[in-house]
Amino acid sequence: MYIHREGKNYVAIGIVIFSVLNLLNYFFLSSYWWLYYPILILTFLLLVWVFWFFRIPNRTPVTGDDLALSPCDGKVVVIEEVEEPEYFKDKRIQVSIFMSPLNVHVNCYPINGKVDYVKYHPGKYLVAWHPKSSTENERSTIVVSNSKTSLLIRQIAGAVARRIVTYSKVGDDAKQNGELGFIKFGSRVDVYFPLGTDIQVAIGDIVENNTSIIAKI
């Protein structure tokens, strides 16, 4: 396991804040154990959470030209046929994965291919599971295509997540399991598949990027 580059500044700031607060805590409150120890424990748990949030675990990635992998860690909350109005402008199968603040928050390409489209949209901060979050929240849309399929991946900010980072640029080579971005502090990722795609997950399934197969293409 290691700390993602998006988290290095947060970790450094967290260590500084933890150290300063607990030095002050020691000098001014150490004789008041009923205050000293709860503050020490709470600040330590917050620091551990910062490390935990930005962790990247060691995994053996799954690969396959006929597979679409999960773009993130989280829980499958939506599988439905919808109209995709931004890029394809036709009916697609939407698979939505909700990431809690405890999940790994790096986002990865589900397939190999070429990045055809990237667009950032400012917007609201509705809770990530809200039905309108896909079209009204702050979000970033990436389309990846290869000879077998074309997928739209949408990073969506939530009520807590207010920082979307997208590394993808039009013309980039998308490498399956390669990083396309990062969303900080709880969020959601939608993937839009062509109708007829063999979806391999069900609502409520827990998935991981790099290892969970969400569809066969």
Query: What is the three-class DSSP state of 102?
Result: coil
Using an 8 Å Cβ cutoff, are 190 and 184 in contact? Answer: no
Q: Which residue of the set 70, 96, 187, 212 is catalytic?
A: 187
187 labelled catalytic: yes
59/30 Cα distance (integer angstroms): 43
CA nearest to 149, candidates 201, 91, 196: 196
> Rounded to 5 degrees, what are φ and ψ at 151?
-120, 145
- Kindly list the strands in the beta sheet with 206-207, ordered across the sheet, starting from the edge strand earlier in the chain: 173-174, 113-121, 139-145, 150-157, 187-194, 90-99, 74-84, 206-207
What's the CA gap between 51 and 65, in Å, rounded? 34
The amino acid occupying position 191 is V
Assess contact for 52 and 90: CB atoms under 8 A: no
- Give the active site residues: 187
